[in-house]
Amino acid sequence: MKYKNLTKEQIIISLDRLTRFKSASEKYRRVFGDIILSNLIEPKFKKTDLENLPPFQLRDYAVEILNSSIKSYIKNSISNYSINERLKEYEESVFNLDEDTKILLDNRIDYIKSFGLIKDDSAVNLKWLKTLTENENSVYLREEQCLKFPIEKVLLVEGLTEEILLPAFSKFLGYDFYQKGIQVIPAGGKNQVVKMYYKLSQELRLPIFLLLDRDAEENILQIKPRLRDIDKIHLVSCGEFEDLLPKSLIIKTVNKELSNFATISEEDLSDGVGEAENLENIFKEKGLHEFKKAEFAKLVRENIEEESDVSDEIRDIIKELQS
């Protein structure tokens, strides 16, 4: 076997991708495959060859390259593989795993030695990885250090607005998603929510909370036959998620963040029209840049400051998510 070592950056990227919240089968096969394709010189494999490679060979080739690369940078350190078993147990608690994936997880990656390469400002999953050497309960550490991992529940939403604002509203109300292990997944539209739910409900052992706009009633009919007992759906009572934002919060955000260009009052937010449409019209009439939901959601997030900024239905959604 002949190979070249990974760079420090490649090592960190590989470890990061292995510990993200993603299907264990997909991430291990992809990361191990990428290591082999980019760094294994002999024997030489093509991407199509890896699809037929037995899982233990895929694992062993990749792990040897990864460990050799780590060792080239961190020389004076004792190897310890206790963390590998904890990772395997975690993945098995989150995902429904086939036998091939269990073989990939049953590896001897020298995680502990690699910690010498992981900086304090690294991604939250890598910070969590480093805590797996401690004897403290992982849930306690997550809540103490706001690590998000281990993940305990998935919030499946239509778009980026919900992904940006729900954690912010929830944190304001004292329920921090990072402390409580809530993973938000934006599907990219109501039809994609259905496809994503079908996929996740097959892969995950965790409960899934689905949040859908009012016009998604037909999509709910597609989901319900496959809805598991541990999952729940919340259909927004009217319109889109943007319509759950208090008008006062929208006005405050526009007037504070865009005051150099425009100011608005409640009269500018027409009744009977969705707030996203209202904002599109305001941006156009005031000569502002194109209205983009995600960008505006980030502005709104910075202006959640008082109890009146959180509508009753948003409070209800967060209470349902807690339960």
Rounded Cα distance between 135 and 131, Å, is 9
H or E element, residue 294: helix 293-301
Contact in structure between 300 and 245 (CB atoms under 8 Å): yes
pLDDT of residue 75: 84
Beta bridge partners of 156: 185, 210
Residue of 156, 154, 161, 212 lying closest to 183 (CA atoms):
154
Residue 77: predicted pLDDT: 75
- The confidence score (pLDDT) of residue 89 equals 95
SS3 3: strand
At residue 29, the pLDDT reads 97
Cα 141 to Cα 269: distance, rounded to the nearest angstrom: 45
Nearest to 294 by CA among 210, 173, 186, 215: 186
DSSP state of 116: G
Token digits of residue 15 = 């470890």
Residue ranges of domains in the chain: 2-143, 153-240+315-322, 242-309
- Cis before residue 54, ω within 30 degrees of 0? no
DSSP label of 6: P
Residues of the chain with pLDDT under 70: none
pTM for the structure as a whole = 0.93
Contact 25, 98 (CB under 8 A): yes
- Is the separation of the CB atoms in 151 and 181 below 8 Å? yes
pLDDT at 159: 96
- HEC string of 245-262 equals CCHHHHHHHHHHHCCCCC
Run of H or E including 34: helix 24-39
Q: Is the domain 153-240+315-322 a CATH 1.10.10 member?
A: no
pLDDT of residue 120: 86
Q: Nearest to residue 155, comparing CAs of 137, 142, 172, 170?
A: 170
Segment 154-187, tens digit of pLDDT:
999 999 999 999 999 999 999 999 999 999 999 9
Q: By C-alpha distance, which of 72, 150, 148 is closest to 114?
A: 72
Q: How far apart are CA 179 and CA 236, in angstroms?
A: 26
